[in-house]
Amino acid sequence: MIHGVYGLDAVRRHNNITKILKALEKQGMYTREFSYLRALVIFTYFKCLRKRWAKRLKAQLKDGDSIVAHSFGCAVVWELLKQLQEEKSSLQLKNIYLFNASLERELQFSKDNCHKIFVFYHPGDNLLTLATYLPNNIMGDMGKVGYQYKTHNIINIKLETPDCNSILQHDCFSQPEYVDYYATFIKKAEKIDDH
């Protein structure tokens, strides 16, 4: 099962995570969208709410599940991994796919509870430049520049979307001309780990 955690675009009816989950379903994968306070996703800025949402997400997960997240949704996933480590949880996720993560690039990820973390970044993501100005928080421009540290199970992947006509370049992966490509990438990564 692949769980989708949406980001800033969640106020729209067909948000970016919904688009990639639908593309994954077309390829025969099982998905589920994680819902949290749709209209006010900017509130992921607040630690107390991130903790609550991470706890709710954890209740839906089982061993071998994967997560795909976008923008502020990546902050909920980071909080989830932190909680799993603090609780010394035995839950083992397969992979986590972070698209245009609104997180600081220097954040330390707890890697004990997942096999791999794929960080998809886009150097033209101008919206995330604004996230670096939010004071005293975990929000930042990881989705613009990639993850800072090199580790064997956190993999940076530059989003290749040359024809994307999105002004801020924050949602290019879910545009019609690219969403199937990235869904296929996820499907292949999931199958590789099955062997």
**pLDDT of residue 6 exceeding 80:** no
Q: Is the pLDDT of residue 195 over 70?
A: no
* pLDDT reading at 13 higher than 60: no
Give the domain extent around 6.
Answer: 2-194
Q: Exposed, middle or buried: residue 88 (CB in 10 Å: 0-12, 13-18, 19+)?
A: exposed
Number of helices followed by number of strands (H, E) in the chain: 6, 6
Backbone angles phi, psi at 9, to 5 degrees: -80, 5
Whether the pTM exceeds 0.95: the reply is: no
CATH of the domain at 62: 3.40.50.1820
Residue with the two structure tokens 């061993």: 63
* pLDDT category of residue 10 using cuts at 50, 70 and 90: very low
The model's pLDDT over 138-179, given as tens digits with 9 standing for 90+, comes to 888 999 999 998 788 999 999 988 777 776 788 888 888 899
74: three-class secondary structure by DSSP: helix
Pairwise CA distance, residues 99 & 121, whole Å: 7
Q: Does the pLDDT at position 8 exceed 60? A: no
Q: What's the Cα-to-Cα distance from 141 to each of 5, 94, 121, 176, rounded to whole Å?
A: 18, 25, 9, 24
Number of domains in the chain: 1
